[in-house]
Structure 1
């Protein structure tokens, strides 16, 4: 055994260090995914005996209007949440400058990342308040009528997304600031000698070196958009009339909320949410792989 270890130490040592992390990931992520898939084929209240119903939960989803509302809202979240990535990039480019007082600016932009989502939800709820919220005070001072953002079916989802973009932009900013510290200064200097500047410098020199940061930013932003539960719960509780529901919130309502303990139906919604997430992230991974292969 000692001889085998000496011969294969460099190959085995990384796996020994990774083993605890892999075990925890399998226990708390991989296994629950398959358990959720299994539960989705049952009618179950979480306590009593399970009743096998096959694909009935998925068939019921196809006729569930609330499910389609939640799905539509999640698509809107996915599309608009991507604004956090370019916004975080441009904030990081600004904060990467060596100007006076830059530490204060960094602290201000970093602040949304460290506060709780519950606090973010409460702050924006006050901001949108039709009576004393800053948004409507500004609108009325300009001669417009107050807009009850969180009570209007048209605006409510966009209002919650705007609240979520605040801390998500800060997170993407941190990723890009870290990536900018790793940008090769020799490539920057060579590009300047070739008279590259502004957008050309950004597009052809800086962004290619930020691909690892962009990959992480896209993945965490997609996951953040699809698991958007806390802001919806704090700001509207799915209202008005269920118009701000997203899949994660509707899953909770079905499994634990006012609809009773329909664990199987909630698990079916969770499986759909997981598949959407996997399709979105896999498509991005394939694109990155194709780009790297074509280099």
Structure 2
């Protein structure tokens, strides 16, 4: 076969399979980035978790010793409990974002101003959010205690109380997270089929029945994204804790991501292997939740 024949054969094959080749070529850069910047670091973290290593010297293989140490680590236990609190309470951002989106989807005077005000928290840096709420909670000049004093209640030191500090940080995190879920639902509401809505109205559906049986099923993709993003945000909550309490008081606000940083790079020394073991546990928790929601979405789509 001559070079010309080979070129003609290759061109014919490309024309015949262009519907398969074109998507693969478009996806290839993203897949390469995902491999290099996600999968390889995950594999390296798993590998490092089996070593005792300070990040500079020669790694010392210790097998499952880091994981056995986690089982008896009280600080790790507190971090897991706090992550569960973050997970459960952070999910309030989803219904909150949904109802704000339903309100902002109305055609009323000044709705663009309202949208801008509700959207504002999403564009603020998490560090700024942390500083704003630190001032808000301040027991001496904070707005919270000014409000409580106006109704006859005593001052509350939210970030200084081990029983309240975690919940105070979660409230701060919910402020921008609700705005993000609101944006997702506003986008989803633009894709709602008006014919289905009109048909439901003719059948007498309104209020909660309209929302539950007509609107929410069409918002399922937005709900899935909101769940995944909210769960990931709850599990990797680091910046707000670092800004507002730095893990205190008395380590009561630590979560897994913050404790991982403390062990690997923070004041507790450069224990890269132990920090990697914490990271692996955090990754597995994320993986379980995301896999569950993917399976739920697949089952619903298959049933439909």
Question: Structures share a fold, TM > 0.5?
Answer: yes
Aligned counterparts of 1:153 and 1:24: Cα–Cα separation in 2: 41
Q: In the alignment, does 2:232 pair up with 1:232?
A: no
Structure 2 residue 146 is matched with structure 1 residue 137: yes
Which of the numbers 249, 255, 274 marks the counterpart of 2:258?
A: 249
Residues in 1 aligned to 2:68 and 2:208: alpha-carbon distance in whole angstroms: 50
Structure 2 residue matching 1:224: 3-state secondary structure: helix
Partner of 1:160: 169
Instruction: Give TM-score scaled by structure 2 length.
Output: 0.96
* Cα separation, 1, equivalents of 2:199 and 2:83: 44
Equivalent residue number for residue 115 of structure 2: 106
Q: Partners in 2 of 1:126 and 1:61 — Cα distance?
A: 35
**Equivalent position of 1:84 in the other structure:** 93
| 1:186-244: CA deviation from partner (whole Å, max 9, x where unpaired) | 00000000010000000000000000000000000000000000000000000001000
Shift of 1:289: 2.1
1:194 maps to 2:199: no
> Whose Rg is larger?
2
Return the alpha-carbon distance in structure 1 between the equivalents of residues 292 and 21 of structure 2: 32
Instruction: Say if 2:212 is the partner of 1:203.
Output: yes
Looking at structure 1, the residues matched to 123 and 284 of structure 2 have their Cα atoms a distance apart, in angstroms, of: 30
Aligned to 1:64: 73
Residue 296 of structure 2: which of 284, 287, 290 is its match?
A: 287
Q: CA RMSD in A?
A: 0.7
1:184 aligns with 2:193: yes
Instruction: Please state how far the C-alpha of 1:141 moved relative to its aligned partner.
Output: 1.4
Structure 1 ranges of 4+ moved more than 6 A: none
Gaps of 5+ in 1: none
Query: Please, what TM-score do these two structures have when normalized by structure 1?
Result: 0.99
Q: How far apart are residue 291 of structure 1 and its match?
A: 2.3
Q: Following the alignment from structure 1 to structure 2, what is the Cα–Cα distance between the partners of residues 26 and 153?
A: 41
- Aligned residue pair count: 295
SS at match of 2:192: coil
Q: Does residue 147 in structure 1 map to residue 156 in structure 2?
A: yes
Deviation at 1:30, TM superposition (A): 0.8
Q: 1:120 aligns with which of 109, 116, 129?
A: 129
Per the TM alignment, residue 293 of structure 1 is displaced from its structure 2 partner at its CA by 2.4
Q: Residue 17 of structure 2 aligns to a residue in which SS?
A: helix
- Partner Cα distance (2:194, 2:122) in 1: 29
Q: Secondary structure at the match of 1:151?
A: coil
Instruction: Report the more deviating stretch, 4-13 or 173-182.
Output: 4-13
Q: Identify the match of residue 213 of structure 1 among 222, 230, 247.
A: 222
Match of 1:22 among 27, 31, 45: 31
